[in-house]
Amino acid sequence: MLKKVTDETIQKMWYLRGIGHSYESIAKNLCLGKSTVYRWLTPEKKLKRIKYKKIYSKKYRKKNKEYLLLQNKKWRNKNQTYIKIKHKEWRENNNERWKEICREAMRRYSYKNPDRIREINKKYRQTPKGIVYNLRHINTRRNKFPIKLSVKDFDFIKQRDKVCIYCGSSKDITLDHVYPNGATDLTNLVLSCRSCNSKKRTKNVFSFCREIGIEVPKIISQLKQNSSTP
Ligand SMILES: [Zn+2]
């Protein structure tokens, strides 16, 4: 004999249908006959369903909040790859919307955590990518034509110079233009710490060395030779 269908069972049926279960799985879940489920979920019952749904769905969700959350979590854990694929699909199809969401979230986050953002930016500016990007960005804006400088170039310069060529510090490394109006490439860039770089600014490299009381680093004469030979 079939179980008597109570209001609660009906609510559960609607709930499960609402989160995408098939009739069969609902029947299995609630230990009901398939025909019973069909009967309650077929279009003829639609009006009644809507009425019931309005009244009970909210109540049911409120009453079984923890259970439902747990079920949800379980389902998510079980179907992680499926969720990932679906998410990816959605992001690809709604690229603009996704970007907007990211921007909004970022704005909200940075509004709430300004210090954290400053810290992240500071850290990023010290990575090779950050240094190169920063320099490229500034130079492009000044000269109004794009500068080709890659992270590989930075790695090359770093391997060549190793530390700040003016004071020998390895902290807070940046790229410095030896000749301020020269090219932004391997022939005119050296490693320099932020403090030396900001002290030097647009000064001539030789008078700067004299000013801080050091000999002109070897690399500078090498660079000059390289750049003068075509
Ligand atoms: Zn320095």
pLDDT at position 46 over 90: no
* Percent of the chain residues topping a pLDDT of 70: 92
Q: From its phi and psi, is residue 195 left (phi > 0), alpha (psi between -120 and 50) or beta?
A: alpha
pLDDT at position 22 over 90: no
Tell me how far the alpha carbon of residue 205 lies from the centroid of ligand 1, in angstroms: 13
Tell me how far the alpha carbon of residue 167 lies from the centroid of ligand 1, in angstroms: 4
Tell me how far the alpha carbon of residue 166 lies from the centroid of ligand 1, in angstroms: 5
Indicate the average pLDDT of the chain.
85
The larger pLDDT score, comparing residue 11 to residue 96, is at: 96
pLDDT at position 97 over 90: yes
pLDDT given for residue 44 in this prediction: 60
pLDDT at position 227 over 70: no
Distances, alpha carbon 35 to alpha carbons 2, 20, 26, 27, 28, in Å: 10, 18, 11, 9, 12
The pTM (predicted TM-score) of the whole model is 0.52
Cα–Cα distance measured from residue 157 to residue 38, given in angstroms and rounded to the nearest whole number: 72
Cα–Cα distance measured from residue 222 to residue 207, given in angstroms and rounded to the nearest whole number: 18
Cα–Cα distance measured from residue 159 to residue 153, given in angstroms and rounded to the nearest whole number: 10
Note whether 190 and 158 are within 8 A (CB).
no
* Percent of the chain residues topping a pLDDT of 90: 37
Instruction: Name the pLDDT band for 139 (thresholds 50, 70, 90).
Output: confident
**What amino acid is encoded at 66 in this protein?**
E
Cα–Cα distance measured from residue 153 to residue 34, given in angstroms and rounded to the nearest whole number: 68
* 36-45, 75-84, 133-142, 217-226 — most confident range: 75-84
Residues with CB under 5 A from ligand 1 (ion): 164, 166-167, 169, 193, 196
Tell me how far the alpha carbon of residue 163 lies from the centroid of ligand 1, in angstroms: 8
Tell me how far the alpha carbon of residue 229 lies from the centroid of ligand 1, in angstroms: 28
Q: Which residues pair with 174 in a beta bridge?
A: 192
pLDDT given for residue 58 in this prediction: 80
Tell me how far the alpha carbon of residue 196 lies from the centroid of ligand 1, in angstroms: 4
Averaged over 132-149, what is the pLDDT? Answer: 82
* 27-41, 53-67, 88-102, 166-180 — most confident range: 88-102
pLDDT at position 48 over 80: no
Tell me how far the alpha carbon of residue 211 lies from the centroid of ligand 1, in angstroms: 13
Tell me how far the alpha carbon of residue 10 lies from the centroid of ligand 1, in angstroms: 75
Tell me how far the alpha carbon of residue 161 lies from the centroid of ligand 1, in angstroms: 12
Lowest mean pLDDT among 11-15, 63-67, 151-155: 11-15
pLDDT at position 175 over 80: yes
Tell me how far the alpha carbon of residue 194 lies from the centroid of ligand 1, in angstroms: 7
pLDDT at position 4 over 60: yes
Instruction: Name the pLDDT band for 193 (thresholds 50, 70, 90).
Output: very high
Tell me how far the alpha carbon of residue 134 lies from the centroid of ligand 1, in angstroms: 19
Instruction: Name the pLDDT band for 45 (thresholds 50, 70, 90).
Output: low
